[in-house]
Amino acid sequence: MHSRRTVLTTAAAAAAACATGATPAHAAASTIGTQPSAPAVTPAPSAATRARLRRLISRMTPEEKVGQLFVMRVYGHSATDPDPADVAANQKEIGVANAAELIAKYHVGGIIYFGWAHNTREPHQIADLSNGIQKAAAAQRVPVPLLISTDQEHGIVARVGAPATLFPGAMALGAGGSRDDARTAARIAGEELYAMGIRQNYAPDADVNVNPANPVIGVRSFGADPQAVARMVSAEVKGYQGAGIASCAKHFPGHGDTDTDSHVGLPYIHHTAEQWERLDAPPFKAAIAAGIDSIMTAHIVVPAFDSSEDPATLSRPILTGILRERLGYDGVVVTDSLGMEGVRVKYGDARVPVLALKAGVDQLLNPPDLSVAHAAVLKAIEEGELTERDIDTRLMRILLLKERRGLFKDPYTTHQDVDRVVGTRSHLTTADRIADRTTTLLRNDADILPLSRRRERRVLVVGFDAAAPSGTGGPPTTVLAKTLTELGFSAIALSTGLAPTQQQIDGAVAALGERDAVVVATYNVSAQSPQRKLVGALLDTGKPVVQLAVRNPYDIARLDGVRAALASYSWTDVELRAAARVIAGRLDPTGRLPVAIMRADTPDQALYRIGHGLSY
């Protein structure tokens, strides 16, 4: 098993040797183009605006001010009349029945949407929920519109599914290498979110994924080359904010070299200050230069910057010393979810929000127990650990963001706005065209690809099969088989899952007996993965085997004997359709690896370097 330091060194060397991120000559320009791009530097608010917001703050009680710092989950498709099961979940976790009661009781400044919380069933419902939330906010003693947010990174993280437009995720866009495509995807995604009443997207991911063993970032990152990632991050910031919504770069100071998932543990980043400056800092600097509205913290320990070994979310040396003072960032700082284990390991839930605010945070995202967190901040003010001036400073940043995003003028949307913008034919066509530039052909010995409708007309598709995130498509084998059939092949799907049994492997081999070729969709193949045995058995038949990595692109390093291998970087429909078009020869693969793939037997050597990619 390779060490973290070996991975860092080899990936960083590969990044230096072959940078990606240049805009290809064939890249399409933005198809929207009706709104101006976000300015490189956010214009300073006028004195009149600041005075008006100070008057608003002066009317608030301490309870109302503290509430405005929280961004909270809430169950249900409606602000006032959710399903009974959602009412029960809200009462159990938050002590309220619905979003309107949440706002009335805690005066929260924001709500985050999740698919699992039943907030994002379909676009009209999302718009109605957003309007209901804003109406509840307008009914408060001191009315302040809410900042409604979600995680719509695209690729493997998407809270809003079809019929909204779904784009390739970050690493796929990194493989495409086009800043125009990244900006266009963000602009369209931002316009659609805006039409549904969502004014903040927790994207783009600004982490530089230099560690192939990273369990939580991976394809959510644009790649392993810091400068290439910086260019793509800057493009997406301008796209989202040019569409009128707040963008959020995450996870500061950089989550790309971890081998622990901060949802379940506390990761350490052992970069020196010089390594951080070279590897992790460039995307965040680029986001700040592009006028980023908000930056999300990481629940990670960076001993080089804070000897206390507090997670960055709670670290004043990191958030105030580096982000605020050294990088000069004065926008909104939001925590990653406070329900994640990484921020709860060292301190109790009552201390975490207080320490985060003392470190330099403005918004407290999704605490596990809002009543405990809200009371803890109020107590810290009463006891002098935090001052009301501290709270006012943070609240002013939040209100300025809301002002900048037009929430004080008009926080509402309509079904007509949804119908005019969300999932239009032109948006869907643009998403497919962008995806067409992302599929990467890693290996093609003996010119197995593209498959021929004469030689390999009958195709079997096997492997990983699960619905894509939040209704964004799938299952993969079905989508691939359907698309190949539409392209003139006779393709059938057979799911063998993440851990195929011997019976499933035997069934796949038997099914291949009546077929001319097989496409096998693999998912994060490890040394012990039964997927390796499946691929080996298919290879033993002597028929053409095409391997498609549908998440991290590193699978080929553990699949000896595969002669035709591709990477799609996700299993959402838009990326799978593009991969099928490459397999069928309807597209020339133009994606280039944005990360290095290291050899499994000698992990200090690159099997494929950054920038690798074959064409027909």
What pLDDT, on a 0 to 100 scale, did the predictor assign at position 27? 32
36 pLDDT more than 60: no
What pLDDT, on a 0 to 100 scale, did the predictor assign at position 469? 61
pLDDT band with cut points at 50, 70 and 90 for residue 236? very high
Give the Å distances, CA to CA, from 332 to 90, 273, 291, 399, 445: 28, 24, 11, 10, 51
313 pLDDT more than 70: yes
564 pLDDT more than 60: yes
Intervals of CATH 3.40.50.1700 along the chain? 439-608
Mean pLDDT value across residues 329-353: 91
pLDDT band with cut points at 50, 70 and 90 for residue 604? confident
What pLDDT, on a 0 to 100 scale, did the predictor assign at position 265? 79
What's the chain's average pLDDT?
91
Which is higher by pLDDT, 600 or 231? 231
Mean pLDDT value across residues 53-68: 97
pLDDT band with cut points at 50, 70 and 90 for residue 21? very low
pLDDT band with cut points at 50, 70 and 90 for residue 466? confident
What pLDDT, on a 0 to 100 scale, did the predictor assign at position 427? 98
Phi, psi of 101 (to 5 degrees): -70, -35
Mean pLDDT value across residues 425-440: 97
User: How crowded is the C-beta side of 373, counted as CA atoms within 13 Å?
Assistant: 30
CB contact at 8 A, 329 and 286: no
Mean pLDDT value across residues 206-222: 91
Residues 522-547 pLDDT 10s: 999 999 999 999 999 999 999 999 99
Task: Report the distance separating Cα 146 and Cα 74, nearest Å.
Answer: 13
9 pLDDT more than 50: no
521 pLDDT more than 90: yes
Considering the domain 439-608 in this protein, what is its CATH number?
Answer: 3.40.50.1700
The token duo for 10 is 């080899």
What pLDDT, on a 0 to 100 scale, did the predictor assign at position 29? 32
What pLDDT, on a 0 to 100 scale, did the predictor assign at position 346? 87
45 pLDDT more than 90: no
pTM of the model: 0.90
Mean pLDDT value across residues 312-330: 96
What pLDDT, on a 0 to 100 scale, did the predictor assign at position 305? 95
30 pLDDT more than 80: no
Q: For the domain 30-421, what is the CATH superfamily, name and number?
A: Glycoside hydrolase, family 3, N-terminal domain (3.20.20.300)
Tell me which residue of 237, 334, 226, 267 sits closest to 39, measured CA to CA.
237
**Poorest-pLDDT segment among 15-29, 418-432, 473-487:** 15-29
The token duo for 212 is 């192939």
Task: Report the distance separating Cα 16 and Cα 525, nearest Å.
Answer: 27
What pLDDT, on a 0 to 100 scale, did the predictor assign at position 472? 56
Which is higher by pLDDT, 338 or 258? 338
Task: Report the distance separating Cα 444 and Cα 547, nearest Å.
Answer: 10
CB contact at 8 A, 134 and 411: yes
Task: Report the distance separating Cα 256 and Cα 251, nearest Å.
Answer: 9
Tell me which residue of 472, 456, 417, 490 sits closest to 564, measured CA to CA.
456
Mean pLDDT value across residues 48-76: 96
Cβ-count burial 197-217 (b if 16+ within 10 Å, e if not): bbbbbbbbbbbbbbbbbbbbb
High-pLDDT (> 70) share of the chain, %: 92
Intervals of CATH 3.20.20.300 along the chain? 30-421
What pLDDT, on a 0 to 100 scale, did the predictor assign at position 262? 75
What pLDDT, on a 0 to 100 scale, did the predictor assign at position 157? 93
pLDDT band with cut points at 50, 70 and 90 for residue 256? confident
Angle, CA 554 vertex, CA 553 and CA 559 arms, to 5°: 115
Task: Supply the residues annotated as catalytic.
Answer: 263, 336
555 pLDDT more than 90: yes
Mean pLDDT value across residues 494-503: 94
What pLDDT, on a 0 to 100 scale, did the predictor assign at position 423? 96
What pLDDT, on a 0 to 100 scale, did the predictor assign at position 253? 95
Mean pLDDT value across residues 442-465: 94
CB contact at 8 A, 180 and 27: yes
413 pLDDT more than 90: yes
Tell me which residue of 482, 543, 489 sits closest to 511, measured CA to CA.
543
Task: Report the distance separating Cα 57 and Cα 59, nearest Å.
Answer: 5
Task: Report the distance separating Cα 360 and Cα 342, nearest Å.
Answer: 18
**Poorest-pLDDT segment among 251-265, 417-431, 448-462, 577-591:** 251-265
What pLDDT, on a 0 to 100 scale, did the predictor assign at position 242? 96
